[in-house]
Amino acid sequence: MSATTPTYAFAYLDEQTKRMIRRAILKAITIPGYQVPFASREMPMPYGWGTGGVQVTASIIGPNDVLKVIDQGADDTTNAVSIRAFFERTAGVATTTRTTEATIVQTRHRVPETPLAEGQTIVFQVPIPEPLRFLEPRETETRVMHALEEYGLMHVKLYEDIARHGHIATTYAYPVKVEGRYVMDPSPIPKFDNPKMHRSPALQLFGAGREKRIYAVPPYTEVVSLDFEDHPFRIQSFDRPCALCGADDVYLDEVVTDDRGGRMFVCSDTDHCEDRRAKGFTGEQVHQEAAE
């Protein structure tokens, strides 16, 4: 038996597919926060593992782009490694771990700490693009709710949190309103990252492969986290700085160091942390070692 040998295009997707996705992206940019349906393809990685982000990146990337891929803020998490290797293999593009060097940043669950600049594009991997999904499971219903700008249900949910807990109990995938119109799911980033989206000079694209939706926040667009006048939106704060670089204005990962309750807190954004340490900033772990 002679088997067919498969061949693939630049960045895997065929040109017709890229054109279809680019059209969806353009539409998304013109209607900030609106979820544009697109004919998502089967990708050679599983649904739920970044197929939407990968399709968006594959459609916008060119041979001169420099790509950074992060998962949980880190460049070396296994799925980030896998996606970066995918583009190295299928598009032969340069890759980097440095936020400032990248033209495209594909991310899962974080926005880099280093502010993004004009000309950069950040591509978010989105599992469930519909912010109203857990309040209303039917697509046919939620579409109407968006069309009529009927977001009362979401405010009721947030209010119920306050009534029950004294504060809003949503910590990630915290809903935002884009340019005063569409309520949007910022993807499961911690709410700590929400303010970074507001009036960002970078283009922000969101791809949900399994759910077949693309949406966008163009540069310098209003992105406001939902809240109430007497319960304003607040981000998480940590009561200690990063143990490695001493940063106190960043999102931290809690690392379990032993089985006797030992914990330490370090930057979730590995590039930011390395960059700071290279510049001579140090955290408590380094101080302790110096003392020993």
Partner 1 sequence: MYIAVKGGEAAIRNAHRLLDDRRRSDRSVPALTLDQIVGQMALAVDRVMAEGSLYDQELAAMALRQARGDMIEAIFLLRAYRTTLPRFAAARPLDTFRMRIERRISAVYKDIPGGQLLGPTFDYTHRLIEPAMADDPPVDEPMRRLSEAENCPRVTDILGAEGLIEADGQAGSDGEPGDLTRDTLDFPISRDVRLQALARGDEGFLLALGYSTQRGYGRTHPFVGEIRIGLVDVEVELPEVGFPVGIGRIRVTECQMVNQFKGSAKEPPQFTRGYGLVFGQSERKAMAMSLVDRALRADEFDEERTAPAQDEEFVISHSDNVQATGFVEHLKLPHYVDFQAELDLVRRMRREQERPREETESVQEAAE
| CB of 257 vs partner 1, minimal distance in Å | 6
Containing 225, the helix (H) or strand (E) segment is strand 223-225
Region from 58-66, 175-183, 188-196, 218-226 binding partner 1, contact rule CB under 8 A: 188-196
Task: For residue 267, indicate whether it is catalytic.
Answer: yes
CA distance 264 to 281: 17
56 CB neighbour count, 10 Å cutoff: 31
| CB of 68 vs partner 1, minimal distance in Å | 15
Q: Which is nearer to partner 1, 138 or 199 (CB)?
A: 138
Transcribe 201-219 into DSSP letters.
SSEEEEEETTTTEEEEE-T
What is the per-residue binding string for partner 1 in 71-110, x denoting contact by CB under 8 A?
A: xxxx-xxxxxxx--x----------------------xxx
Please check whether residue 36 is in contact with residue 24, taking contact to mean a CB–CB distance below 8 angstroms.
Answer: yes
Task: For residue 209, indicate whether it is catalytic.
Answer: no
Which residue is listed with tokens 């980033």? 189
Q: Does 189 bind partner 1 (CB under 8 A)?
A: yes
Q: Does 51 bind partner 1 (CB under 8 A)?
A: yes
Going by the DSSP 8-state scheme, the letter that residue 172 receives in this structure is B
Q: Does 58 bind partner 1 (CB under 8 A)?
A: no
Which residue is listed with tokens 């949406």? 215
| CB of 220 vs partner 1, minimal distance in Å | 26
What is the per-residue binding string for partner 1 in 108-147, x denoting contact by CB under 8 A?
A: xxx----------------x----------xxx-------
The residues with which 231 forms a beta bridge, in sequence order, are: 228
| CB of 161 vs partner 1, minimal distance in Å | 11
Give Cα 228 to chain centroid, integer Å. 25
Going by the DSSP 8-state scheme, the letter that residue 119 receives in this structure is T
Which residue in the list 52, 245, 246, 283 is annotated as catalytic?
245
Site residues (CB under 8 A) for partner 1, limited to 238-267: 243-244, 251-255, 257, 264, 266
Q: Does 37 bind partner 1 (CB under 8 A)?
A: yes
Transcribe 62-98 into DSSP letters.
-TT-EEEEEETTBSSSHHHHHHHHHHHHHH--EE-S-
CA distance 53 to 41: 12
Q: Give the type of residue at 69.
A: V
CA distance 8 to 267: 38
| CB of 255 vs partner 1, minimal distance in Å | 6
Contact residues: partner 1, CB under 8 A: 1, 3-4, 6, 8-9, 12-14, 37-39, 41-44, 46-49, 51, 71-74, 76-82, 85, 108-110, 127, 138-140, 165-166, 169, 171-173, 188-192, 210, 212, 236, 243-244, 251-255, 257, 264, 266, 268, 270, 273, 285, 289
